[in-house]
């Protein structure tokens, strides 16, 4: 298709573009052409024969987002391009993505897989009203793109900067409650966003709130992904700075609490590593008046430096912040299936499900006492002899019919057992676990209790 670019404003795509000046947005054609586009695609670039690119909307370490016009459906869109600025450049045609150093080829491959995973997560959650909608995915210029809905509005960070004072609790609740609900839904499918901050919460002109930028999102409980470049100081919890501290729903809890703290105070919390050495986080009421006591208490718990002292789920934090709004405290736990109703007349299907480690994806019924360990003659769930951190007869689990809870016991194992927050269980002591809770044995053998 031959395009007459003189009739289209590449800043706002208004068709009434005359004399190099746009009457709608005031954009000057010569100014746009004079800009340096070495690292990004220039306005006027056509992708897939249908997407006309406009201005660059945002640029990060792993991708570039452009305004675009879908010439077939005649609608504004946004286009995201997989592009690692630290190792990539543009070819002679200023379009092709090329490596500056061939030794970085695996890094580029990994980044592409990460980008495709981001797209997959968005498409799988298209029914979530707080998640941006993906229209198309394609490869061109030796990289990957996806076309998504164009959002009119501004991110929460810009809204905060323009505000004359921090938000009231009522204003904060209006903006943040949809984000809580979106995360609760994502967590049900074992997806952690891992980059919650005011930059990634978009306030649409129509009043809707969208959670954006899933570039850091991960699936699978306790993913030990170590990506120091992706963390945001003040919003990233301590576990995102280390390979040794496990991540899960509690990781998003911290970032969410930090974002609410920023809204109410106008102050970004100190970085987690600094807080681990000397915690100088102040209570929100020391900055502004009028913050409800229950809100302050909930935020301080959500911002605990160490995961085991925090709320473990977004639903628990939501319950504490919005006590008048009904929600299920375990709703965002690791359980993807809807739990069966627990009634006296209905026999419960009690089992444990492997979420990570050697038995990931496997389920084992809890009938009587289920024992886990390396000894084949003594255990029901048997690990190989070489399995690190798992003792010969490590632990067992049973169901207490009277209390309607599972009972976990570490059988004095050499290396111990932990809860999902990484906190060690006492050995030889009964630990009661509800539906959706779980335990960890060895390095990363994670199980959920389901019934």
Please, what are the domains in the chain? 36-149 (3.30.200.20), 153-321 (1.10.510.10), 351-450 (2.60.200.20)
Question: Among residues 385, 382, 394, 393, which one has the least CA distance to residue 440?
Answer: 394
Within 10 Å of residue 87's Cβ, how many Cβ atoms?
Answer: 16
What pTM was estimated for this model as a whole? 0.65
Most confident of 100-109, 214-223, 321-330: 100-109
pLDDT value for 346: 57
**Separation in Å, CA 313 to CA 11, 174, 185, 389, 437:** 42, 20, 12, 27, 11
pLDDT at 282 > cutoff 50: yes
Phi, psi angles (nearest 5°) of residue 257: -65, -40
Higher pLDDT, 276 or 9: 276
pLDDT per residue as tens digits for the range 356-386: 778 877 889 999 999 999 999 999 999 988 7
The residue-averaged pLDDT of 284-288 equals: 96
pLDDT value for 381: 95
pLDDT per residue as tens digits for the range 104-142: 888 888 778 778 877 777 777 777 777 888 899 899 999
Question: Among residues 49, 41, 86, which one has the least CA distance to residue 67?
Answer: 41
Length of the chain: 451
pLDDT at 169 > cutoff 50: yes
pLDDT at 298 > cutoff 80: yes
pLDDT value for 225: 44
Question: Among residues 119, 145, 122, which one has the least CA distance to residue 132?
Answer: 122
Residues 229 and 240: their CA atoms lie apart, in Å, by 10
Indicate if the alpha-carbon torsion angle 364, 368, 369, 374 is positive or negative: negative
pLDDT per residue as tens digits for the range 384-443: 887 888 999 999 999 999 888 999 999 999 989 998 777 889 999 999 998 878 899 987
Buried b (16+ CB within 10 A) or exposed e, 117-150: ebbebbeebeebebbbbbeebeeebebbbbbbeb
pLDDT value for 16: 60
Torsion of CA 210, 214, 220, 225, to 10 degrees: -140
Residues 360 and 124: their CA atoms lie apart, in Å, by 21
Q: Which of 12-26, 296-310, 414-428 has the lowest mean pLDDT?
A: 12-26
pLDDT value for 367: 92
Phi, psi angles (nearest 5°) of residue 299: -65, -40
């Amino acid at each position: 298709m031959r395009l007459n670019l003189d009739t289209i404003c590449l800043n706002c795509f208004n068709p009434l573009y005359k004399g190099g000046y746009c009457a709608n947005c005031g954009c000057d054609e010569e100014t746009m052409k004079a800009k340096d586009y070495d690292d990004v695609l220039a306005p006027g670039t056509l992708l897939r024969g249908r997407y006309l690119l406009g201005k660059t909307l945002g640029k990060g370490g792993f991708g570039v987002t452009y305004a675009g016009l879908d010439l077939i459906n005649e609608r504004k869109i946004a286009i995201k391009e997989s592009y690692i600025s630290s190792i990539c450049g543009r070819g002679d045609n200023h379009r092709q993505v090329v490596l500056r150093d061939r030794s970085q080829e695996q890094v580029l491959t990994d980044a592409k897989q990460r980008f495709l995973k981001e797209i997959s997560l968005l498409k799988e959650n298209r029914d979530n009203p707080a998640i941006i909608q993906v229209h198309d995915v394609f490869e061109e210029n030796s990289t990957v793109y996806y076309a998504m809905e164009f959002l009119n509005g501004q991110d929460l960070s810009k809204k905060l900067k323009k505000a004359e004072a921090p938000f009231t609790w009522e204003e904060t609740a209006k903006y943040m409650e949809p984000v809580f609900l979106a995360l609760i839904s994502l967590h049900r499918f074992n997806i952690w966003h891992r980059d919650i901050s005011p930059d990634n919460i978009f306030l649409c002109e129509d009043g809707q709130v969208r959670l954006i930028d899933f570039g850091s999102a991960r699936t699978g409980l306790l993913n030990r992904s170590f990506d120091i470049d992706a963390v945001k100081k003040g919003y990233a919890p301590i576990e995102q700075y280390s390979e040794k501290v496990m991540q899960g729903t509690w990781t998003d809890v911290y970032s969410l609490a930090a974002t609410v703290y920023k809204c109410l105070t106008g102050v970004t919390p100190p970085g987690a590593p600094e807080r681990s050495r000397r915690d100088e986080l102040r209570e929100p009421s020391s900055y502004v008046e009028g913050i409800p006591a229950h809100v302050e208490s909930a935020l301080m718990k959500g911002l605990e430096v160490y995961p085991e002292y925090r709320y473990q789920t977004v639903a628990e934090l939501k319950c504490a912040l919005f006590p008048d709004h009904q929600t299920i405290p375990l709703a965002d736990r690791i359980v993807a299936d809807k739990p069966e109703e627990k009634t006296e007349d209905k026999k419960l299907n009690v089992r444990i499900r492997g979420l990570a480690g050697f038995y990931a994806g496997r389920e084992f019924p809890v009938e009587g006492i289920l024992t886990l360990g390396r000894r084949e003659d003594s255990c029901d769930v048997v690990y190989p002899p070489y399995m690190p951190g798992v003792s010969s007869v490590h632990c067992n689990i049973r169901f207490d019919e009277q209390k309607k809870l599972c009972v976990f016991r570490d059988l004095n194992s050499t290396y111990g057992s932990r809860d999902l927050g990484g906190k060690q269980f006492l050995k030889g002591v009964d630990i009661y676990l509800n539906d959706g809770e779980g335990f960890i044995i060895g390095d990363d053998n994670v199980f959920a209790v389901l019934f």
